[in-house]
Amino acid sequence: MSREKPSGGPVTLTGDLDVALSPADAFALFTPRGEERWVAGWHPRFPVPVADDARPGTVFETMSEGETTTWIVLDREPGRRVSYARVTPGSRAGTVTVELSEREGGSSVRVTYALTALSPEGERELREFAAGYPEFLRSWEAAIAALG
């Protein structure tokens, strides 16, 4: 069985949002368990129990819109940065990095997705994700602000 390969190359998307928390407090919102507080439908599943869900090497899975994505924590600097590898089999693979810096009244958060399509379907998904990326980050900002 031959599979058609995607024609596009890697896509890097970077955007910023503001959070009314210090970087030390905001960091927890971008860990696997922390995102459960503000991302609808986000329920990370850990194949082995973990006490520290943001420890480099930690593996977890998420399910969204019928797709399972496997994540690995690559690196972290508490209060400053966390980076993940992610693979949605047969669709997309790459990294997600969240960087926090202090600003007056809270934190500036820079989110970078570097993704490659693994199939024509993944290429379509990636194009749609890229087109909606600014709104995607605005939804993050609104969901976090709604926490109070």
What share of the chain in percent tops pLDDT 90? 89
Q: What is the mean pLDDT of residues 49-54?
A: 96
CA 73 to CA 78: how far, in whole Å? 13
pLDDT for 65: 85
Residue 71 near residue 85 (C-beta atoms within 8 A) = yes
pLDDT band (50, 70, 90) for residue 7: low
Domains and CATH numbers, the chain: 11-30+74-145 (3.30.530.20)
Q: What is the mean pLDDT of residues 28-45?
A: 95
Compute CA distances 76 → 27, 51, 100, 136, whole Å.
10, 15, 11, 23
Residues 28, 76: Cα–Cα separation, whole Å: 11
pLDDT digits (tens, 9 = 90+) for 39-48: 999 999 999 9
Asked if pLDDT for residue 1 goes beyond 50, the answer is no
Please tell me the predicted confidence (pLDDT) of residue 43: 96
